[in-house]
Amino acid sequence: MTPAAPAYRRLSVEERRSQLLEAALGLFAHRAPEDVSLDDVAEAAGVSRPLVYRYFPGGKQQLYEAALRSAAEELQQCFAEPPEGPLLDRLSRALDRYLGFVDQHDAGFSALLQGGSVVETSRTTAIVDGVRRAAAQHIFSHLGVTEPSSRLRMTVRMWITAVEAASLIWLDDDKEPPVDELRDWLVEQFVAVLSVTAGRDPQTAALVQALAADG
Amino acid sequence: MTPAAPAYRRLSVEERRSQLLEAALGLFAHRAPEDVSLDDVAEAAGVSRPLVYRYFPGGKQQLYEAALRSAAEELQQCFAEPPEGPLLDRLSRALDRYLGFVDQHDAGFSALLQGGSVVETSRTTAIVDGVRRAAAQHIFSHLGVTEPSSRLRMTVRMWITAVEAASLIWLDDDKEPPVDELRDWLVEQFVAVLSVTAGRDPQTAALVQALAADG
C-alpha cells in the first residue's frame, strides 16, 4: 500500500479548543485584534468558520478573551523561579523569560497594553491587571516579604509599570538595546528605586541591605 | 425695585459649549464615564437634554472626548514652567501642579488611565498619549536636550509611566503618602533612574553631572 494522505484525526473537544486558541494566539501575536477576523483564525487552524463559532459562540470577542487568558497564564509562568541563589540573579532570569515573551508576541503585546483596542473591555483589563498583581506577588515572595509596606508596594508596582513601558518602547525601537542590556538595565533600576524608597521606609531599607549582602 | 430673579442670560455658542464641557468635566472627574448620563450633564448645567445633543450630536462619546481634550489641555498647562532656577526645583513645581490635577479629578483620572472604559477608543488613547509626549518634551527642553539618545528617551518615558502608576496607587491608597512626600520621592526616583542610565549612555551621564552641579 502506498502511504495514504494523513488521516483527518478527530480531535477531542479540549484538543480542538487548544488548537483554535493556538491559531488565534499566533494571529493576535503579530496583528492588532481589529485586524484579525474569524475567517483568518479558521484558515490558520485549517477548519471551517462555523466550527470556530461552535467553540466560541461569542465570536471574536470571546476568542480574544480566551486567547488573552491563555497568554496571561503563559506570561505568569515566566515569573516562576525557584527561591534559590542570589535574588538579583533570579530577577534577571524572570526578566529574560518575560522579555522572550514580549519578543515573541510583539504586535499583540503592544496592542493589548496600549489600550483603546476595539476588543478591550473591563474583563480584558482585569486579566492584564491580574498579571501585574501576580508579578508583584512573585517579587514580594522572593524578597521574603509577606506584608509589604505601602511605600514598598508602590515602588514595586511602579517598577513593574516602568518595565511594561520599557517593553513597548523596546518593540517600537526595533528591539534596541539588545535584550541582555535591557534586562541588566531594568535590574539596576529596580535596585535604584528600592534604594530611594529605603530612605523613607525601614522595611525597604532592610531589604536593600540584604540585597547588597546577597549573592 | 426688589431684586429680580437672575435674568436667564443668552449665552454665545462658545460660552454655552464651555459651560456644558465644564459641567461634564465636573461629573467625569468624580465618576467613571459609564456612570455619567447625558441627563446628568444636562441637569448639572441646568439645561435641557436636547440642548446638550444640539452641541454634542455624537452624544456621550463626543462629549466625553471633548471634555477629555479640555482636561488634557489643562494637564499640559501643569507642565509649563519657566526655564529658570535649579532644574529639580522646576520638576518639583510641575509635579506639584500635576498632583493637584490628579487630586482634583480623582475618579475620572483613574477611569481614564486604567483603561477598559466603555468610552475608550483609539482617539481617547491618542489624547492621553499626547499628554505623555508633551510631558517628555517639557522634560527634554528643561534638560536642554534637543535630540535625546534612545536610552535617555526610554528612561524619561519609563519615569513618566511610573509617575502615572504612582498617581493611580496614591488615589487607591486614599492619597497616602502626603502629596509633598510623594512629590519629593518622585523627584528622587527621577535622579536615581537617570543615574543608572548614566552608566550606559554618555549624554545621560553629562546631564547627571550637570544636575549634581545645579542649584
Contact indicator for A189, B200 with CB cutoff of 8 Å: no
CB contact under 8 A, A158 and B162: yes
* Residue B202: count of CB within 10 angstroms of its CB: 10
Residue A164 with chain B: CB contacts under 8 Å: 161
Indicate whether A158 belongs to any domain: yes
Dump pLDDT digits (tens) for B33-86.
888 899 999 999 999 999 999 999 998 889 888 888 888 888 889 999 999 999
CB contact under 8 A, B193 and A193: yes
Closest CA to A189 of A153, A154, A156, A144: A156
Indicate whether B23 belongs to any domain: no
Residue B181 with chain A: CB contacts under 8 Å: 200
Residue B140 exposure: Cα atoms within 13 Å on the Cβ side:
20
* Residue A46: count of CB within 10 angstroms of its CB: 9
- State the pLDDT at residue A210: 93
Mean pLDDT of B5-10: 58
Indicate whether B105 belongs to any domain: yes
Residue A121 with chain B: CB contacts under 8 Å: 116
Which residues in chain A (56-75) have CB-CB distances under 8 A to chain B? Answer: none
Indicate whether A59 belongs to any domain: no
The grid coordinates of residue B188 equal 528622587
- State the pLDDT at residue A9: 66
Range of the domain at A184: 68-213
Dump pLDDT digits (tens) for B105-119.
887 777 767 655 566
Categorize the per-residue pLDDT at B186 as very low, low, confident or very high, splitting at 50, 70 and 90: very high
Which residues in chain B (27-56) have CB-CB distances under 8 A to chain A? Answer: none
- State the pLDDT at residue A61: 87
* Three-class DSSP category at A63: helix
Cα–Cα distance for residue pair A68/A24, rounded to 1 Å: 10
Q: What's the angle, vertex CA B74, arms to CA B160 and CA B87, rounded to 5?
A: 45
Give the mutation candidate from B171, B185, B187 for the A interface (greatest A CB count, under 10 A): B185
CB contact under 8 A, A200 and B181: yes
ipTM score assigned to the predicted complex: 0.86
- Residue A201 belongs to what H/E stretch? none
Indicate whether A55 belongs to any domain: no
| d(CA A129, nearest CA chain B) in Å | 9
| Lowest-confidence region among A80-84, A159-163, B27-31, B158-162 | B27-31
Contact indicator for A193, A159 with CB cutoff of 8 Å: yes
- State the pLDDT at residue A142: 95
Total CB pairs under 8 A between chain A and B: 102
Q: Looking at the 3D structure of chain A, how many domains does it have?
A: 1
Tell me how far the alpha carbon of residue B65 is from its chain's centroid: 14
Contact indicator for A77, A136 with CB cutoff of 8 Å: no
Indicate whether B24 belongs to any domain: no
Closest CA to A131 of A82, A70, A198: A70
- Break chain B down into helix, strand, coil percent, rounded to 5: 75, 0, 25
Q: Which residue of B has its CA nearest to A129?
A: B114
How does B116-131 read in b/e, with b if 16+ C-beta sit within 10 Å? Answer: bbebbbeebbebbeeb
- State the pLDDT at residue B151: 97
Which residues in chain B (100-139) have CB-CB distances under 8 A to chain A? Answer: 114-117, 120-126
Mean pLDDT of B143-156: 96
Contact indicator for B101, B135 with CB cutoff of 8 Å: no
Cα–Cα distance for residue pair A187/A195, rounded to 1 Å: 12
Residue A177 exposure: Cα atoms within 13 Å on the Cβ side:
17
- State the pLDDT at residue B75: 87
The CATH number linked to A200 is 1.10.357.10
Contact indicator for B38, B53 with CB cutoff of 8 Å: yes
Give the mutation candidate from A68, A161, A174 for the B interface (greatest B CB count, under 10 A): A161
Query: Which residue among A115, A192, A199 places its CB closest to the CB of B193?
Result: A192
- Residue A200 belongs to what H/E stretch? none
Tens-digit pLDDT profile for chain A (215 aa)? 444 444 456 788 889 998 998 888 888 877 877 888 999 999 999 999 999 999 999 988 898 888 888 888 888 899 999 999 999 999 999 999 999 999 988 777 777 666 555 666 778 878 888 999 999 999 999 999 999 999 999 999 999 999 999 999 999 999 999 999 999 999 999 999 999 999 999 999 999 999 999 86
* Three-class DSSP category at A189: helix
- State the pLDDT at residue A4: 47
Q: Is the pLDDT of residue B177 over 90?
A: yes
- State the pLDDT at residue B8: 57
CB-based contact, A192 to chain B, within 8 Å: yes
Indicate whether A109 belongs to any domain: yes
Indicate whether A134 belongs to any domain: yes
Cα–Cα distance for residue pair A168/A102, rounded to 1 Å: 9
CB-based contact, A171 to chain B, within 8 Å: no
* Three-class DSSP category at B120: coil
- State the pLDDT at residue B119: 66
Q: Which residue of A has its CA nearest to B129?
A: A114
- State the pLDDT at residue B1: 45
Backbone angles phi, psi at B49, to 5 degrees: -60, -45
- What percentage of chain B has pLDDT greater than the value 90? 61
Cα–Cα distance for residue pair B156/B145, rounded to 1 Å: 12
- State the pLDDT at residue A74: 86
| d(CA A76, nearest CA chain B) in Å | 21
Closest CA to A158 of B169, B22, B172, B116: B169
